[in-house]
Each structure stands twice: as structure tokens, then as C-alpha cells.
Structure 1
Amino acid sequence: MQSSNWSTKKLAEFLKHTGELLRKGYSLTLALELEKQRTHRGHYNACINEMIQALRDGESFHSALQVTGLPSYIRTWIGLAEESSQLEAGLLNIGEMLLLLEQNKTKMGRLLCYPLVLFLTLIIIVYIFTVFLLPNFQHLLTSMAVDPPFLTVFLIESGVFLNDHFILIMLSAVSTLILLLGIQRSIPSYKKINILLKIPFMSRLTQQYLTYLFSLHLGEMLRGGVSFIEAVELLDDDDRGSFLMNEIKVMREQMMAGQPLSEIIKGRPAYLDDLTIIILKGEQYQQLGQALQDYSRIVFRRFEVTIETLIKSIQPAFFVFFGACILLIFYSLMSPMFQVIGSL
């Protein structure tokens, strides 16, 4: 069976809708046939046909899901739900979790998009001014025999240099970006996280995000009927080489040595201190899964507010910088004109 990666949103919708159909009493094969009618796309329908054929050949549903590119720990989670006759609840829980992850990812993209658009706008304005406007202005000053000030000369020379070496500059920028991305991908995720945890402001953001991921995954698994030990083993089966996988391996070793989860979390620098309290109280009232799920939403909202506050803090400084650049451009244009007017 050939794997074909689906988008996270598509996977979430597929699992959730399939779970809803199972809850209504449909058989798994009929639920998949109805899913084909909902998608109306050749690529997805071909994958669903492969799943249906795999089920008819006697394979389990979680094995048939390999064609979607679903992470192995989620497929194993679905397999446990199948064995315990809780497939519909498992699919609904996993679908909701993946949808929540995708929605939160989209929110973060929108938050970070705004400052990026402002920065790109400034670059475009400066580029148009230095490459297209200033050379014409230089010809005007030369024809009028005006000696421009240093700032005007500097901007004109910068524009000439940028125009003459544009291709070289772009190739250098792209090569540097590719090199940095290559270096970034070669570094294991847990090492990158450890670096972020040592940077004063980034450490708080990193802790919030990792606490959110850990609480969401573990909480949803516990709510879905997976025992804590099974949940740890499932997360350890994550084949993406993630930071979470590395953490779970360490936690499992400590749990086998007899340490309670709250004490293990308390000794890990990657998580917020509140997580220890939530685990203790959740275990005390036998509602750990629900408590972790609700806590994950609270933590993500804190993370969101922190990002918004950071952007609001940077925004005034950026506007001041943006305004200063426009003012310098205006001054470089008007200063020679004032000299011409003064000489009349």
C-alpha cells in the first residue's frame, strides 16, 4: 500500500466525519463509501478505495489508514480504539484534536503575517525609490549643476549598486537562506528547543507551546480510553523525530524507575510549573484527561496573548522606523531642491 500524505485539515475532517457516521450506526465500509461522496476528489477517493479494499482483504482500519500518511502513533491509537470497540469515539477525539491543532496553527500564521507584510512593504518602497526614482533625480540635479548633500549621494550610489548587482545580491540571499534552512533541519528538534529555552524571552513562549502540545495530546488520549502507560508508549512511537518523542522516552524511563508523573514533569524545564498542579489535581479527582484537555486550551490562549503583546510592543517601534525611512527619503529629495530655490 503506497502512502500519500493528506493535509492535517483533510485528515481531521475525514476521521471526524467517519466517526460521526459510525455513531449513527453505519458499518465502517459504508461510512467510507459515504465519505467518498462527500470529498468528490479523485486523489482522496482513490485512497479511500484502497482503504475499503484493505478492509475487505481482512486488514484492520488503522493499518488501512497508512495510505493517508497519518503519523504512526495516531494509527496505533486508532488501533487501540478498534480493539476496545470504541472506534467511533476514538475517531471523533482524534479528529477534534487534529482540527484544533490546525486551527491554532492558522491563528499563529495570521498573527505573524502582519509584521511580515509591513516589513516587505518597506523593502518594496525603498527598492522602487532607490532603483527607479533616484537615478532620474540624479540626472535632474546634474543638468541643474547642483551639488547634492551626502545623504542624497549615498542613496543614489546605493540605488546604482543595487541595480548593477541585483542578480548577484538575490542569488547570495537565496543561497544563504537555503544554507540556513539546511543547517536548521540538520539540528535535532530537541537541541533547537534546548537553545530556545536558554533565551530569556523565548523560553517562556517555548514552555507555553510545548505545554500546550503535551497537554493536548495526552489529554485527548486519556479521554479516548487509552491508559496512561499506553498513551506514553503511543507518543514514544511517534516516528517524526520530534522533541515530544525525546521527552516521552526520558519520562518513560523515569516512570519505570517508580517516579510519579507530577514529579517527572516538575523536573523538566520545557513545561510550565502549572502543569504539575493540573496533573496532581486531575489524578486526585480521576479526571486527568479532561483536565489536561481544558488546560491545553488555556495555555494556548496564554501563548496567543503573549504573541499579540509582543507584536503590539514591536509595532510602534517598527512604525517609527518606517516613518524615519520615509522622512529620510523625503529629505534626500527635497534638500537639493531647497538649494536650487535658495540660489535663485
Structure 2
Amino acid sequence: MKNKRKWSLKDQALLLKRLSDLLEKGYTLNEALNFISVNEKGRQKDDLLNCVSNLAEGYSLRYGLTNLYFHRDVLSYLYFAEQHGNMEFALKESSIMLYKKIAHYDKLTKILRYPIFLIFTVAVILIFIQSVITPQFNHLYTSMNIEVSIFSMILSQSFLYLRWSMLIAAIFLLLFLIYYFIRFRKYTAERKMRLIVKIPILKTYVKMMLSYYLSLQISILLRGGMSIYDCLKIFTTQSIIPFFQEEANTFIHQLKAGQKFNDIIYEREFYEDELSQVILHGQANGQLARELYMYSQFVIEKIDTSINKIITYIQPTVYLFVGIIVLFVYLSMLMPMYKMIDSI
């Protein structure tokens, strides 16, 4: 029976790091899990002991962590580790990957926490002004025969457009959710990815991630003495990431048709163009495993830099938006009062 209690990403990353460190020091996987469980309490201790029991029964570490609902990327790393035998490397790489995800999430949360609070507060004030204060000013203008200024009309129209924009955005979000749950989820993994890579904001990031994952896993399998064909056959036997399972089947079919692997990669729209060049260069100098691994590390660094850059742009953009809204709210309160004073 699967454990319904999920470990947090921080706990997952910490466990993977501890396991890789202990394996590096010469511990067996069973000994490492037992050692870590001694220092744990409650649920996590029981979970680790269950993993030890699973190992004793002949199951893999991946089986135990699957029951604990570990991150899908971690499970895929461990699946390939079962094929090439370098469990220490897989645990280390997956822990690094999780720590980077956690760092990006924490940084984004920290940056957006206060601006989101400001946006919510300003939205409440804006609703109050539009529903209570503005109608009273309009009624007062009418009773005193005061002509509404052009600037006040602009402010009123701006608030109206903003309200309609928010409504339209909510409708689009609702339509997107309906489309996602009714149709998108039923598509094949390849069709889903074809739609995703057409989205300008996501295209570059997704292509880098796919290129990173493919190059890293193939490089490790090649180091184990496998051929490209053998590597792809292993991809077809995993179902953790269905997209790469479908991709591997496509690659094998095209290889049998006589196409070169680098040409196949170049023709696919899911990967960076540099990946095909790295494959060509690696095959030419007989160092494909090394070239692919170095390329994967270059790509993951580029992804990390890109995400950090985007995050640094988000905060000033949000603050600018909030500042403009606050200015409009402030002017919408003051302008009618000045108009009344001038008319007296």
C-alpha cells in the first residue's frame, strides 16, 4: 500500500544528499538508510525503515521512494541509475536539482510576497472607491451642476477598463482550465509538448530543460559502455516521463531508417540546436559521453542564470504596476475634491 503522506521537497533533497554522501564514504545503500533512520523520528523514521524492508525484499530504492511520492525527476534519475549502476551520482545530481528548485521557489516567494499583499489591498480600495465613493461624487456633481473634468473622466474610464481587463483575464483563465482538464490531459505526451513549445514565454526554457535531461542521461549511460541504440532502448522501457519514452521510440525508428542521431535531434523542435552540434562533435572525436555531460552542465547553469534574471525583473515590474494603481486611486480621491473647491 502506498504511503499517502508526501515528503516536502526540502526533506527529499536532504535525504538524497545524505545518501549520496554516505555512499561516497563506502556505505551500502541499506547501511546508509539504516544510519539516517537512526537520526530521524516519527513518520520519516518509519518511511526509511520501510525502504530498508523493501530493499531486503528485493525492491529498488526507486520503488520505496515512489511510495513516498518523491519528485518525478528524482524517480527518473534513479531509474537510469538502475541501468548504469552509478547510484551515488544519481542521488547527488537529483539532490542538486531539487535544491535549485527550492532556491528558485523561495526567492520568487520572497520577492512576490509583499507586492501581492499590496495588489490585494489596492484592489479592495479600488472596489470600495468605484462602488461607494465615485457614485457619491457623481451624484454631488449632478446636484451642484458641476461639470466633470476631462481628467476625472479619464480616471473613471481607466478604472472601467481595468475592471473589464480583470474580468476578461478571469474568463480566459477559466477557459484555459476547462481546455486543460477536458482536452489537453488526453493528448499524447508529444502533442502536449508541441503545444507547450509554441508558447513564447515557455519555449526557450522548456527546450533547455529537455536538452539538459536528454544529454545528461545519455551521457551517463554511454559511460557505462552502452551504444546510442541501447541508451534509447532504456528510455523506451521507462514510463516515469512519457515524453522521453515516445521520443526514444521515434529516435529508434529513424535510426533504423538510416538517419544520423545528430540529424534526428536537429529536426526535432524540442531541443536546442547546439545539442545536435555537440553530438556531431562528440561522435567525431570519440568522446560523446564527455561532450554530452559537459553540455548538460552548461545548459543547467544557463537555466539557473535565466531563471534568476527573470525573477529579478518580476519585482520591479510588480512594484511599478502597484505604484501606478496607487497613483490612480490617489488622484481619483483628490481630483473631485479640487473640482468642488474650484466651483465654490
Contact kept in structure 1, 2:37 and 2:45, CA below 8 Å = yes
Q: Which residue number in structure 2 is paired with residue 233 of structure 1? A: 233
Structure 1 residues 315 and 247: alpha-carbon distance in aligned structure 2, compared to 1, 3 A threshold: same
RMSD of the alignment, in Å?
A: 4.3
Per-residue CA deviations over 1:243-287 (Å, capped at 9, x if unaligned) read 333222211222344433222212222111211221233334444
Aligned to 1:130: 126
Counterpart in the other structure of 2:282 = 282
Q: Aligned partners of 1:313, 1:141: CA distance in 2, in Å?
A: 40
Look up the match of 1:253: 253
Question: C-alpha displacement at 1:66, in angstroms?
Answer: 4.9
Match of 2:96 among 97, 100, 124: 100
User: Cα–Cα, structure 1 residues 25 and 119, in superposed 2: closer, same or farther, change >3 Å?
Assistant: closer
SS in 2 for 1:334: helix
Counterpart in 2 of 1:296? Answer: 296
Q: Give the deviation of 1:118 after TM superposition.
A: 8.1
Contact 2:282 2:289 in 1 (8 A): yes
Q: Report the count of equivalent residues.
A: 330
Q: Flag the 1:212–1:23 CA change in 2: closer, same or farther, 3 A.
A: closer
Unmatched 5+ residue regions in structure 1? 163-167
Report the equivalent of 1:264. Answer: 264
Map 1:151-190 → 2, pairs under 5 A = 151=154, 178-183=177-182, 184-190=184-190
Instruction: State the partner residue of 1:79.
Output: 82
Cα-to-partner distance string for 1:323-343 (whole Å, 9 max, x where unaligned): 543343333222211222212
Q: Which stretch shows the higher mean deviation, 324-333 or 133-142?
A: 133-142
Change in CA separation of 1:127 and 1:245 when aligned onto 2, cut-off 3 Å = same
Q: Is the 2:210–2:271 Cα contact (8 Å) retained in structure 1?
A: yes
1:35 and 2:36 are equivalent in the alignment: yes
In structure 2, what is the Cα distance between the partners aligned to 1:32 and 1:233?
Answer: 31
Distance 1:8 1:237, change over 3 A: farther
Q: How far apart are the structure 2 equivalents of 1:25 and 1:304?
A: 32
Is the 8 Å Cα contact of residues 11 and 95 (structure 1) preserved in structure 2?
Answer: no
Shift of 1:110: 5.8
Instruction: Check whether the contact 2:279–2:288 (CA below 8 A) recurs between aligned residues.
Output: yes
User: C-alpha distance in 2, partners of 1:240/1:249?
Assistant: 15
TM-score by length of 1: 0.73
8 Å Cα contact 2:197-2:203 kept in structure 1: yes
- Give me the identity figure in percent: 24
Q: Which amino acid aligns with 2:33?
A: L
Aligned to 1:165: none
Asked whether the 8 Å contact 2:23–2:29 carries over to 1, the reply is: yes
Equivalent position amino acid for 1:79 in 2:
E
Unaligned residue ranges in structure 2 (runs of 5+): none
